[in-house]
Structure 1
């Protein structure tokens, strides 16, 4: 998909940068209406600012939190009415300065200063408190907070709870514009249905939201406005504006990963048409779209017996059928590179997230909504099956998955259970929820680890550099090895078939560590078990057989089975496909590290891989492995767009 509003009517309430946001909307193919919604009114008396300056110059202030660029500049101007600016700046230089985002940083640079601590995105007061906890304990510290527009009682309380003495420094307040006519008209335009005058609303501050509803209340149409928002897409620049939207009883439909105006417009333009269709479809199907989650979506009141996803672009490619473009999904497309994912993950453990069906489904759907990929993959982990088998599994910060009772003997293998599929009801429920809420023409992928990779975790106890313990058991005690692989295969058959029965259209088998083996070892110790596993999987769902690390295994992987063979970036796609033959689809295979580069480089690498595929039916684009946690979200979206645009046939 492209960055294009496709002529949608877009209203913004930006004041200070009204011309800029109008230009951005026009450049992105939208029809803008920009409505000034507030004005800055400096406080007539600078009492608090001058009091702060007196305390600072006396050496009484330990730290200063600067919340806005405008407020930072106004603070200096206010202090200059009574104190020497040079002395004030020098006193600031001796003080711990916490800057909330790039704007106060820029204002400080104008003064020749730099912040001691820069609050990371999305620049909320929560992030400010978190970084203070990490880098600057504030017990018994005296902290001044430059306020903007209105006080933030939660921030002040959070600082006090940590033992700080807080001095508030208000500098200006937000008031309604002197001319309220544009706001009155905007509220009525949002309500209007015949003709419909607004498709999307962009909010770049909390005050914009409050002022819109304040004017609507003056006109006695606040409830009509709330009702109208059930069919108008709401985009928010970040968490603070989103919170104000929620306070009005509304749900934000889109919030960019980067909290700035440019990303708000670009990403909303990219996804706006789909999100608007989704919201209006949900409303037509009886959903209260002012209070809804991704998992509440209903696309069809009475779904047919055969899922349209069976003929989706993605599933057709899995069957080597012709498609109008190359479909793409991305391993770890829901994960730590996304701010929304981190917000959810902050409150639950990895296991809690995987085992809470509503949350797992929400995370799964979130990635599709944000990226516009052609398939969803259920959020889970390959090691979930090990717990009911008797393994003590947990996810340890900085280490990843750890099994605290690793297997080392035949007796350990014999003690392992072969759990009934009911042990995985939480996963099957997550798939059912996801399939219901997922757009019908988008495929849903279930998955599992392959027997070798799971066995390696069970034996090593976690990640390994050389898999020495795994290979030692494999070579030294083939009886124990085969018994372990057979148990895993039996459990995996039930696990994958349960996912298919619950609504998965395709299943993938991840053999991430099998590349550590030679072809001979794979053929003797692994292939028989993978072959057995794939042969017992429900034939209604195509199977993706994926491994990394050793292209020499590809012919044996094909022999083991699978409708699609996943390729990592270490092999040439054209050569690999030629080796595998035309009767199997392939998936891949861009190096994930390319996503650290530029849009131009991403597109060049995409084109190179598409050229190797030559437009043959059966190519599914993916990375050679998963998205890394610190990859720029906008580059991931760029990858999706590049594949769709460059492969269109």
Structure 2
């Protein structure tokens, strides 16, 4: 289906390591509880899943932050746990609590019952992608996403969030064969899910390995990175003539940039513990380098606007002047080091977005 031509391709160009006139910015969880208009729409929907499964509501909340802020990309409003929900685990969200699954995956029988779900069960996601893409009308690109195979496995085994990852790590250490089986199914499901989002209109896709950083060195490579790689190997590199950039974000993954630099993706997301300048030297330079995304501490947004401005400048200075001119080189996409807090004052986001655009233009002029 024909979509409107893109008016602002800064984000896509930065993903592909091409020069841009400013550093693009978008925020993880940019459609969310910190916005009063989001809370009003969620109240109308009656629940989080009521919001996520309704095409009109999902479209409305995806566009809300773009009405307020000069962001350079939109991200699909959904949840990382839609795939295991489609596997029949029964996802629910209680107010004030995190996600919960009615069923867990812990025994040999549980694992034997797992399969890549019929993508028709996730039709509501793909309908939302198409609806959002139309509603954007070419304003900015649309990012689709999924949780990583390991992150999904954490929730599936634990039955929800966890402080100590005891159940999932117990399974991993005692029955690595079962863990590998879960991860293989998850990887194939995530690849099918992201490909369907691309076909529905997503112009870039992101894999959130939110819990990769809880693994020990060695186990990260074996149980997380290997299966993220399995996802990337199956993704459509382009659709209808356009390259589809892929971003991989591992929270706590700064230790393993050397292992991640040969992933078949365009950009690596970084949390706030990583020095951008060092990461650029490590993985951002050269013809096969990665664009870097991140990585201001989300809690900076609780400081007054002048402090936010100063912290934004520090992050941009840390990366240095991005590639300019023809060809490809080191590029930066500005983002938070994790999702925005629900308690963030909305006007502080204005200060952040404006500071990114102003300082990044100045940085390029300085050259």
Q: How many residues align?
A: 346
2:300 maps to 594
1:441 Cα deviation (Å)?
4.4
Is it true that 1:607 corresponds to 2:313 in the alignment?
yes
Matches within 5 A, 1:508-523: 508-523=206-221
Looking at structure 2, the residues matched to 355 and 303 of structure 1 have their Cα atoms a distance apart, in angstroms, of: 23
Question: Which stretch shifts more, 634-643 or 462-471?
Answer: 462-471
Aligned to 1:559: 262
Q: CA contact under 8 A between 1:519 and 1:556: conserved in structure 2?
A: no
Unaligned stretches of 5+ in structure 2? 239-243, 324-330
- Separation of aligned partners in 2, 1:373 and 1:449: 23
Cα deviation, 1:214-266, whole Å, max 9, x if unaligned, reads xxxxxxxxxxxxxxxxxxxxxxxxxxxxxxxxxxxxxxxxxxxxxxxxxxxxx
Contact kept, 8 Å, 1:569 with 1:590, in 2: the verdict is yes
**Residue in structure 1 matched with residue 328 of structure 2 by the alignment:** none
Aligned to 1:184: none
Match of 2:27 among 324, 330, 334: 330
| 1:453 alignment partner, one of 146, 151, 169 | 151
Asked if structure 2 preserves the Cα contact closer than 8 Å seen for 1:528 and 1:560, the reply is no
Distance 1:492 1:510 in 2: 11
Match of 1:629 in 2: 342
Distance 1:376 1:475 in 2: 39
Q: In structure 2, how many angstroms separate the alpha carbons of the residues matched to 1:547 and 1:623?
A: 13
What are the Cα deviations for residues 164-218 of structure 1, in whole angstroms up to 9, with x where unaligned?
A: xxxxxxxxxxxxxxxxxxxxxxxxxxxxxxxxxxxxxxxxxxxxxxxxxxxxxxx
Q: What's 2:169 paired with?
A: 471
The structural deviation recorded for 1:549 is 2.0
Q: Distance in 1 between matches of 2:115 and 2:229?
A: 22
Please list, as runs of the form range in 1=range in 2, the aligned pairs for 1:179-328 lying within 5 A after superposition: 303=3, 307-308=5-6, 312-328=9-25
Q: How far does the alpha carbon of each residue in 1:335-360 deviate from its partner, in whole angstroms, 9 at most, with x for none?
A: 11101000011122111111111110
> Which whole-Å deviations, capped at 9, do the CAs of 1:268-309 have from their partners, x for residues lacking one?
xxxxxxxxxxxxxxxxxxxxxxxxxxxxxxxxxx756xx436
Asked whether the 8 Å contact 1:382–1:447 carries over to 2, the reply is yes
Which 5+ residue runs of structure 1 have no aligned equivalent? 1-301
Pick the structure with greater CA Rg: 1
After TM superposition, the structure 1 = structure 2 runs for residues 515-554 of structure 1, keeping only pairs within 5 Å, are 515-540=213-238, 541-554=244-257
- CA distance in 1 between counterparts of 2:63 and 2:175 reads 44
Q: Which residue does the alignment assign to 2:37?
A: 340
CA deviations 1:19-53 (Å, max 9, x no partner) are xxxxxxxxxxxxxxxxxxxxxxxxxxxxxxxxxxx
- Matches of 1:462 and 1:559 in 2, distance apart? 32
Mapped partners of 1:525, 1:387: distance in 2: 21
On the 8 A contact 1:313/1:323 being kept in 2, the answer is yes
Q: Contact 2:15–2:267 at 8 Å: present in 1 too?
A: yes
Q: Deviations 1:452-505 (Å, cap 9, x if unpaired)? A: 111000011111112111111112111111110011111111100011111111
Deviation at 1:533, TM superposition (A): 0.5
CA distance in 1, matches of 2:118, 2:259: 31
Checking the alignment, whether the CA contact within 8 Å between 2:284 and 2:292 is kept in structure 1 is no
TM-aligned CA deviation for residue 519 of structure 1: 2.5
Which is bigger in relative contact order (C-alpha 8 A, separation at least 6)?
2
Tell me the TM-score normalised to structure 2 length.
Answer: 0.91
Deviation for aligned residue 1:615: 2.0
Aligned residue in 1 for 2:113:
415
Q: Equivalent residue of 2:44, what SS?
A: coil
Runs of 4+ aligned residues of structure 1 deviating over 3 Å after TM superposition are: none
